[in-house]
Amino acid sequence: MSVESMRRIELFRWMLRARMLDERMAKLKAQGEVAGSVFLGRGQEAFSAAAGINLRPGDLFAPLIRDQAGRLAFGETYFDVVRTVMGRSTGPMRGRDGNIHRGNWDIGLLPMISHLGAMVSVLSGALLARRLSGRLRSGDLDVGVCSIGDGGMATGALHEGLNVAAVERLPMVLLVANNQYAYSTTNDRSFACKHLVDRAQGYGIAGRVCDGTDADACLREVSAAMSAARRGQGPQMVVADLLRLAGHGTHDDMSYVGADMKSRYADCVPVFEQRLVHDGVMSANEMSSLKDQIRGDIEAVITQVRGEAQPDPDTEIWSALCETQLTTLRSAVA
């Protein structure tokens, strides 16, 4: 089997794992086992997974709520996800925070800040700290990947952070998932430029566009952008055109999305599955076996987590970070 085929299979596996895990978390919510909402990456798996499989140890990743595919590919476990969503004390947030803010400094996975544009500033600061400490050297650089949506592109924090990254020529890749809606606000009420990638020129950075419903296109453009950043060519922006195929969260029925809009955008997961079978990269039986394996793995995790404790407010240590965590954080940034 060719390297290209193996790469495409790897991409699809992370897309499928993310889709099936998201769907199972939504079912747990419907069953009353989740406090708060569940946020689904349906329709954005190809773009997110393309970043995740290009990340390597030493890189930094600042994902958002629809980046389950990239998170898993970068090393987040089913246990971290399920424990956080179900509010267990054994999870990375110890059951004390919303189920979307999880991270893992040990692997360079930055916890998400609710004010989405702020993560660009956080990542810029982390990369600049590495440069000042001598960790970022010329040549094959560690990179930082930051995800944002079309709505988050309008925030002041993003502008300030991206401007710093551009001026300092930091090895950052900004993934912009243009899913057509800033919650329920359409593109034509969010920005006036012809396309969001036009903004790259204003910052003096490279910009690329891909069809976010086409997994091969996502892999091609994101891989090229991350390679350019590693070579020291400064920040890279990749804008993927796609549609969020679920509400903002499970609390949102997306009734504001018309049938015409839905008809314009394909679902990247079944499209890529059909393409891989058509190209002879995977057989239908292999697809079925893969789904069974993923389903079994997820169910085993849920079964274990159901038996784990929720946080006890009488015994919980309420400090945000213990000394061990602070030491890990400092070493990750420095």
What integer pLDDT is reported at residue 333 of this predicted model? 62
Whether residue 321 has pLDDT greater than 70: no
Sign of the CA dihedral running 228, 233, 239, 245: positive
The amino acid occupying position 210 is C
Strands of the chain, DSSP E: 60-62, 144-149, 172-178, 181-182, 185-186, 206-211, 236-241
User: What pTM was estimated for this model as a whole?
Assistant: 0.92
Please list the helix, strand and coil fractions of the chain in percent, rounded to the nearest 5, in that order. 50, 10, 40
CA distances from 275 to 14, 149, 259 (A): 16, 27, 25
User: What is the rounded distance in angstroms from the CA atom of residue 8 to the CA atom of residue 287?
Assistant: 13
Q: pLDDT tens for residues 151-199?
A: 888 899 999 999 999 999 999 999 999 988 888 887 777 888 889 999 9
The two most distant CA atoms of the chain are separated, in Å, by 58
What integer pLDDT is reported at residue 323 of this predicted model? 65
Spatial strand order of the sheet with 172-178 comes to: 60-62, 144-149, 172-178, 236-241, 206-211
What integer pLDDT is reported at residue 100 of this predicted model? 81
Whether residue 133 has pLDDT greater than 70: yes
What integer pLDDT is reported at residue 101 of this predicted model? 86
Reference 47, options 225, 202, 204, 167; nearest CA is 225
What is the mean predicted confidence (pLDDT) over 226-240? 97
Written as six digits, the tokens of 172 are: 């950052």
Range among 68-82, 108-122, 257-271, 301-315 rated most confident: 68-82
165-174, 187-196, 219-228, 324-333, range with the lowest pLDDT: 324-333
Q: pLDDT tens for residues 25-56?
A: 999 999 999 988 898 999 999 999 999 999 99
What integer pLDDT is reported at residue 139 of this predicted model? 67
Radius of gyration of the chain (CA): 19
Q: Which residue has the higher pLDDT, 141 or 174?
A: 174
Give per-residue burial for 234-251: e unless 16+ CB within 10 Å, then b.
bbbbbbbbbbbbbbbbbe
Written as six digits, the tokens of 34 are: 């989740």
Q: What is the mean pLDDT of the chain?
A: 91
User: What is the rounded distance in angstroms from the CA atom of residue 64 to the CA atom of residue 40?
Assistant: 11
